[in-house]
Amino acid sequence: MIDYTPEQQAEIRRKQKSRAVVTAVILGGLVILFYAISIAKML
């Protein structure tokens, strides 16, 4: 197991959080896109 300093741990957590936010935004965008496409097909 690798022992990180508290500063390194904080940096790793920050990167993980930013990656999670980007993933959530992309996923949300896809959901909205698929919803819009399905509504457009009904018209």
Give the pLDDT of residue 2.
85
Tokens found for residue 43: 């018209």
Per-10-residue mean pLDDT, the chain, length 43: 93 98 98 97 93
Give the pLDDT of residue 18.
98
Give the pLDDT of residue 15.
98
- Angle among Cα 11, 17, 20 to the nearest 5 degrees reads 145
pTM recorded for the entire structure = 0.77
